[in-house]
Structure 1
Amino acid sequence: MSAFFSARRWLWVAVLALAMGVAGWQVQHRVFQRRNAGATQAPGADLDRALQLPAAPGAPYDSTRLRGVSWVGSDSVTAAELAPLLRDHVTWIAQMPFGWQAGAAEPGIRTNTARPTGRRGLWGESDAGLVYTARLARQHGIRTLLKPHLWVRGRNAWPGDINMSSPADWDAWFANYSAFILHYAALAESARFDGLCIGTELLHATEPAHDKAWRGLIKRIRKVYHGPLTYAANWAVEYQQIRFWDALDYVGIQAYFPLSTAASPSLDTLVRGWQPHLRELAAWQKKVRKPIVFTEVGYKTTPDAAARPWEWPERTALPEAPDEATQARCYEALFRATWGQPWLKGLFIWKWYPGLAPDGPARRHADFTPQHKPAETVLARWYGQ
């Protein structure tokens, strides 16, 4: 199990990161200044604190803590695309292949493991792409969590909508889901992935009535994959309703906790917004007695990023002035509030586009990624501690 959180860095990686650091960060800082010139800066004092002051004291450096990002599959991957991760002290990536469900009440699950044909047909989500990416990342000292997702057809549909209309349909769904996840368990075993997430935000499927089905599936998975297991539960209700945490190695939470309803809230407001969530998490973790990983956490580049962090930004109309300052403060508050918590074993930032350039597609820069924004500076500073 300790392999899941082992994060050894090779000497040449450290040398490369140091060599890139001086020149790379100077160039990047100038890019940040240019890009942020028109962004919302108020309150300026908080932006200064988020980007210039040293991080608040937390737990001592722990090399086993996951310093992760959610890696977006593409049509190729190169060592050059991994270099920014090394510079930012990232030690883990989560790779996310998909299964496809025709509707929330449809028990069938389609997989395209050779090369996905749904959405964009990305090689990086195929078995071959997943394995190649993991091997290349390992060569650079970066470990991989395999985290399969379900894509549900329907306007604004998400996996939490999946809900069968009869016991027979639930039996069929679990049979199909078992085949889906056991395929990836076998892939994770053969390719020596460092961890496996057995499901993501399947809100109705993880209700207590289905506990027996999950425990049976976990036993089957462990016969195939011998590494550590987690499950990525929704932050709002799901993580507390699940009863099979004792059968897994780690609790996974999609940590999109709301922090403030205000537009462009201050850093102090955001840190205070974490407090009730931290109290609840700490009390609950004492009962479940499993370490917690934030399997996803992130913030948009919008003034209301802290209000409903789980919502995607509008895809048809981009904001005139992306609020990179608020995103940076959200990152700073996240780390200040959580990074020193003894029950937190790491997190995966949502999300990271390999090869994204500073002047890349506007829609990429407008969403959750911290790349080429002040938030990336915050991320690197904390991950480097």
Structure 2
Amino acid sequence: MIFRLLFLCCILSSCAAQQEKINGVSFVASRDAVSDVHTNPVVEVGANYAAIMPFGFVKSIDHPEIVHNTNRQWFGETRPGCKQYIEELRKKQIKIMVKPQIWIRHGEFTGFIKMTSEADWKAFEDSYTSFILEYAELAQETKAEILCIGTELENFIKERPDYWHNLIKKIKTVYKGKLTYAANWDEFKRTPFWSAVDFIGVDAYFPVSDKQTPSVEDCKAGWKDHKAIIKSLSEKHNKPILFTEYGYRSMDFTGKEPWVSDHKIESLNFEGQANATQALFEEFWDEDWFAGGFVWKWFHAHDRVGGENDNQFTPQNKPAETVIQTYYSRQ
């Protein structure tokens, strides 16, 4: 009888651990090392995870070389910088997703990467492998809970699917934690290797409302069709959904095209951002097939970012931060 009770307690404890949501922030790389001053706000918002984002740089969508981990980059974009960030966040019991990303000169979209010859594709594959394995090693060294193997690279995956299956096998010889890939909101249905990773990762910039200031109910209604597709993919692959990025700008029509990062837009609308954020939480955070997500973006210098004159994605020092804190602090 005692053995059965102990066994039942273990089962219940395991289920509770599995149901803990990933309440994450996308911790933006900077020139600086970080300290308690920078990590305390992560704790205060209720986060239990941070995505650490080293960068590799490419000259154009058809250039076959990724430059990474050099002394010409910002500290937080390099391997030593990422390690320092992770060590500081670990002091606060924050778990880690290592999420290497590519930046193409002039901000061209990574989903359009396309080499012009087989030789260039091979060279690009070799360069990408070097980039990802660099940070797979770091993820293993720092015992990061999750490694994201790429972000919004649809055409690269479409053109070279065999490469990606082989890359995942190589990564697994280096890194023993959980894997995901950050598919764009309009890409994730076609990603061919979900069965080989642990989470179906989605950058969740789904259009949910055409209104200038959408209400919570407007946005919840706008999620209906998207949510059905997301859930069906989770069921198909028997994998939890992870929003590798989610968030809204504090501007008018924030739910119409949430992926837009145009700095020429001048409108300010904190109510719309807060409402859209709350709707996302209400739709997803209580679903057992949903693992959680990482809000985009969270800057290290909390006291100097966001606020009443900022219409970009960060929720910091805006009403949306209070919404996030409310949901992240529930467990």
Q: Distance in 1 between matches of 2:105 and 2:308?
A: 22
Is residue 2:298 matched to residue 1:352?
A: yes
Is residue 2:166 matched to residue 1:210?
A: no
Q: Distance in 2 between matches of 1:284 and 1:252?
A: 11
Residue of structure 2 equivalent to 1:339? 285
RMSD: 1.9
Once the two structures are aligned, what percentage of the paired residues are identical?
36
Contact in 2 for aligned 1:206/1:241 (Cα 8 Å) = no
Name the TM-score, length of structure 1 as normaliser.
0.78
Contact in 2 for aligned 1:300/1:313 (Cα 8 Å) = no
Contact in 1 for aligned 2:306/2:314 (Cα 8 Å) = no
Residue of structure 2 equivalent to 1:226? 176
Q: Which runs of 5+ in 2 are unaligned?
A: 1-15
SS at match of 2:315: coil
User: When the two structures are aligned, how many residues end up with a matched partner?
Assistant: 314
Is residue 2:134 matched to residue 1:177?
A: no
SS at match of 2:154: coil
Structure 1 residues 370 and 360, CA gap change in structure 2 (3 angstroms) = closer
What letter corresponds to residue 253 of structure 1 in structure 2? Answer: V
Structure 1 residues 379 and 363, CA gap change in structure 2 (3 angstroms) = closer
Contact in 1 for aligned 2:200/2:234 (Cα 8 Å) = no
What letter corresponds to residue 120 of structure 2 in structure 1? Answer: D
Structure 1 residues 329 and 225, CA gap change in structure 2 (3 angstroms) = same
Residue of structure 2 equivalent to 1:91? 48
Contact in 1 for aligned 2:307/2:318 (Cα 8 Å) = no
SS at match of 1:334: helix
Residue of structure 2 equivalent to 1:53? none
- Distance apart, 1:258 and its partner CA: 0.3
Residue of structure 2 equivalent to 1:106? 63
Contact in 2 for aligned 1:95/1:130 (Cα 8 Å) = yes
Q: Distance in 2 between matches of 1:243 and 1:129?
A: 32
Corresponding residue to 2:93 among 124, 141, 149: 141
What letter corresponds to residue 179 of structure 2 in structure 1? Answer: L
SS at match of 1:229: strand
Is residue 2:232 matched to residue 1:275?
A: no
Structure 1 residues 142 and 63, CA gap change in structure 2 (3 angstroms) = farther
Residue of structure 1 equivalent to 2:26? 70
- Distance apart, 1:95 and its partner CA: 0.8
Q: Distance in 1 between matches of 2:35 and 2:175?
A: 27
Partner deviation per Cα, 1:199-242 (whole Å, 9 max, x = no partner): 000010111x5221111111111111111111100110x21112
Q: Distance in 1 between matches of 2:241 and 2:118?
A: 32
SS at match of 1:231: strand
- Distance apart, 1:287 and its partner CA: 1.1
- Distance apart, 1:360 and its partner CA: 4.5
Q: Distance in 2 between matches of 1:61 and 1:246?
A: 23
Contact in 2 for aligned 1:146/1:188 (Cα 8 Å) = yes
Contact in 2 for aligned 1:313/1:367 (Cα 8 Å) = no
Contact in 1 for aligned 2:307/2:317 (Cα 8 Å) = no
4+ residue runs over 4 A deviation: 60-63, 359-364
Q: Distance in 1 between matches of 2:105 and 2:309?
A: 22
Residue of structure 2 equivalent to 1:383? 328
- 1:33-52 matches, within 5 Å, as none
SS at match of 2:259: coil
Partner deviation per Cα, 1:152-193 (whole Å, 9 max, x = no partner): 113x41211211123332222111111111111111112222
Contact in 2 for aligned 1:114/1:128 (Cα 8 Å) = no
Residue of structure 2 equivalent to 1:252? 201
Q: Mean alpha-carbon deviation: is it higher for 304-313 or for 79-88?
A: 79-88
